[in-house]
Amino acid sequence: MKGNTLFTVTPDTPLADAVETMAAHDIGSLVVMEYGDLVGMLTFREIILTLRDNGGSVGRTTIRKIMDDHPLTCTPETDVNEVRRMMLEHHVRYLPVMEKRQLMGVISFYDVAKAVVEEQGFENRMLKAYIRDWPEQQEEAR
């Protein structure tokens, strides 16, 4: 999900169109939906393997032929540490967020890393607040 835009495709979308969409919007994945249901994920991993197998061309391939048709998912309630564990354990960089059968968004490995950094920054500020007389960050003299 880039900003508030969620990009989806159908399994019968030509791979060349999907590549164009991903490049135009600087996104690493597309959620594959059919008849209102999540049926797969397309990431740069599947595209790279297809390029390798086809001598550098995506040809007339459709997404259905190469998509991950059993994508790992999470819910809005899934804890960020659990999301991180799932991503690392299953070697996935993108997780569709589902509430019942409704697609809510996609969490990327980047989103998880950002959350961890922000959480650590918050914890550091909290710890410093507990330490009496912690020196304030001084701006360097120019």
Which CATH class, in words, describes the domain spanning 8-130?
Answer: alpha beta
Encoded amino acid at 78, one letter:
T
Instruction: Give the whole-angstrom CA distance, residue 50 versus residue 66.
Output: 7
Residue ranges covered by each domain of the chain: 8-130
Distance CA 56, CA 115 (A): 36
| Tens digit of each residue's pLDDT (9 = 90 or more) over 85-123 | 999 999 999 999 999 889 999 999 888 888 888 777 776
Query: Is the pTM value of this prediction over 0.75?
Result: yes
Non-local CB neighbours of 101 within 8 Å, separated by 6+ positions: 36, 37, 38
pLDDT category of residue 1 using cuts at 50, 70 and 90:
very low
pLDDT tens digits, residue range 30-82?
999 999 999 999 999 999 999 999 999 998 999 999 999 999 999 999 988 89
- Does the CA dihedral 107-113-116-120 come out positive or negative? negative
